[in-house]
Amino acid sequence: MAVRSCLGGMLFGSVFVIAGVGVALLIGKQTVLACSRIEPATRQGNCALTTNGFLGSDSRSFLLSELQSASVAEKRDDEGDLLYRIELQTERGTVPMNEVWSSGRRGKQAIASEINTFLQTSNLPELNVDQDDRPMGLLFGGIFSLAGGGIVLGSLVGLVRG
């Protein structure tokens, strides 16, 4: 019976390790918005929205003239806490800068304000802002993985001790 209990603990802990890796891979992304004006004092130029994650990167390009503004959207999670994300308003609709909703309105508001300042100040030649959620992804993923690793280790010690 002790062997079955230890194996169950190892299986249970392994689920936490796998979940931790999954969280790190899904949440841990850096999103960069880079725009440049072709000529000063115009809305002519290009923008690229690039997301870099642990599994690769994705990029989409659009004309600077399509970008109208940036704002911070909010929603409540299941516990009633507020979560935020930056959204870009374009001629084609709303584009989230990052798919992940998270806490920290102040940092997101600073990024949205920087984008809006660039759009309203036509003598600025380029914009380069980023939202980096990789540390958060690693933190939460690491916590899950460490907890699971502890359960697996405890189960192995129990198995060895018999």
For the chain, report the end-to-end CA distance as a whole number of angstroms: 10
70-82 confidence digits (pLDDT tens) = 999 999 999 999 9
pTM (two decimals)? 0.77
pLDDT of 162: 65
Q: Is the pLDDT of residue 43 over 50?
A: yes
DSSP 24-88: HHHH-EEEEEEEEESSTTSS-EEEEEEEEETTEEEEEEEEGGGEEEEEEEEEE-TTS-EEEEEEE
Q: Determine the Cα–Cα distance for residues 114 and 107; give it in Å rounded to an integer.
A: 11
Over residues 43-47, mean pLDDT: 90
CA distance 68 to 51: 20
How crowded is the C-beta side of 28, counted as CA atoms within 13 Å?
18
pLDDT recorded at residue 1: 47
Bigger pLDDT: 113 vs 5? 113
Average pLDDT, the chain: 86
Token pair of 27, please? 């949440």
The Cα 83–Cα 9 span in angstroms is 34
Q: Per-residue pLDDT tens for 105-137?
A: 999 999 999 999 999 988 889 999 998 877 776
Q: How many CB atoms lie within 10 A of CB 69?
A: 13
pLDDT band at 83 (very low <50, low <70, confident <90, very high): very high
Residue 161 has pLDDT above 60, yes or no: yes
